[in-house]
Amino acid sequence: MSARTGHKAMQETVSEKRAYLDWNATAPLRPEAREAMTAAFDVVGNPSSVHAEGRRAAAILRDARDAVAELVGAASDRVVFTSGGTEANATCVRPDLYDRIIVSAVEHDSVKAAASVDPAKLCVIPVDATGEIDLTALDRLLDETAAERVLVSVMLANNEVGTIQPISEAAELCHAHGAAIHCDAVQAVGKVPVSMAALGVDFLTLSAHKFGGPKGVGAIVCGPAAAVAPLVRGGGQEWRQRAGTENLIGIAGMGAAARAAAAGMDDWTRVAALRDRIEAFVGKLPGVGASAPVLIAPGCRLSNTAAVALPGLKADMMVMTLDLEGVAVSAGAACSSGKVKRSSVLEAMGAPAAIADATIRVSLGWETGDDDVDRFCTAFATLYRRWRQRLGADRLEVA
């Protein structure tokens, strides 16, 4: 039995064969990460200490830094470890350091919140109906702020609908205007090939638990000419760019997950086929007038993400119904759980309120199989029938 199959079997036993389809919220811990973390538990030294125990800890830190750097095509000394993607974003998106912060309309809440600390400095790049940024609008905003210190922040892949942004083109515009650019790549790293050189950004942020590492550890990767202004001060760790004794156990897991993610990149083609099966099933369901099931499928997007709406049925109710049927999905960003509200991403894309209120995100991963897709389709058919009954169309059959 392979490690992947064995890990999947263990999960199914614990979860009573539930279908976990919320990988964009968090991925399961990879066996490789668990093994690296278990070994790191026995390492007593502080990585900053010069004695033998400290050097052993420093070696683990160095190996993990190399692995993360390799995953995104960067030099190891450009990687700064943090407590996660939110801290990484907050460290980069700093109104105290810039005269203007320009963000896309579909950024993660951690970027929006950091940029909104000084609302007078905030500008927003509009997006089209697919969620892609308007480069002409960005160029215009950069022209208007030409004499200022400007940071632009655009995510690589959207967490709700999967749209992949034209980051390299945006970076060219920014640098032509003398602006710096930050890219939140939390949702993309480990799912698509990422190269700092190809993207051309000054700062790239990522989070371990999105690609099979532990929760609570992330990183900032700096471009060749960029450096992080410390948000956390008090020590010389992380090239003096993030103070505090490093989370060695978490970082060891992140490094192991990074190597496993790089080795398994080809598997996302298989995942895309499973995602397409889900969309084909939903797409065949008969609609009722203007209230037909809606698939939100940008042309350039992550291979694992599907966004589905049943207009007139609230997204939180859809999530709860599917949960009771043994399927885990989400509505919007998991970081906003407990406060389900209309998706600001879909609003920015121009989706009508009836769709923005009724969209769920289905996200797959390297352990997703045909059985998970089958379970989703069965559960969604149950949800669909209830929706049809609410619309008074209960006599029609599910395809």
**Catalytic positions, written as ranges:** 335
Residue 78 DSSP class: G
**What is the C-alpha to C-alpha distance for residues 287 and 344, in angstroms, rounded to an integer?**
26
CA nearest 307: which of 16, 125, 106? 106
**CA 262 from centroid of its chain's CA atoms:** 16
Whose tokens are 């966004």? That residue is 307
How would you class 147 by CB atoms within 10 Å of its CB: exposed for 0-12, middle for 13-18, buried for 19 or more?
exposed
| 3-state DSSP assignment of residue 95 | coil
Separation in Å, CA 36 to CA 7, 47, 68, 248, 338: 16, 16, 14, 10, 33
> How many CB atoms neighbour CB 92 within 10 A?
27
Q: What does the alpha-carbon distance between residue 354 and residue 338 come to, in Å, rounded to a whole number?
A: 21
Q: Around Cβ 120, how many Cβ atoms within 10 Å?
A: 6
Geometric angle at alpha carbon 84, from 81 and 89, rounded to 5°: 90
Q: State the Cα–Cα distance between residues 242 and 226, nearest whole angstrom.
A: 15
Whole-number CA gyration radius for the chain: 22
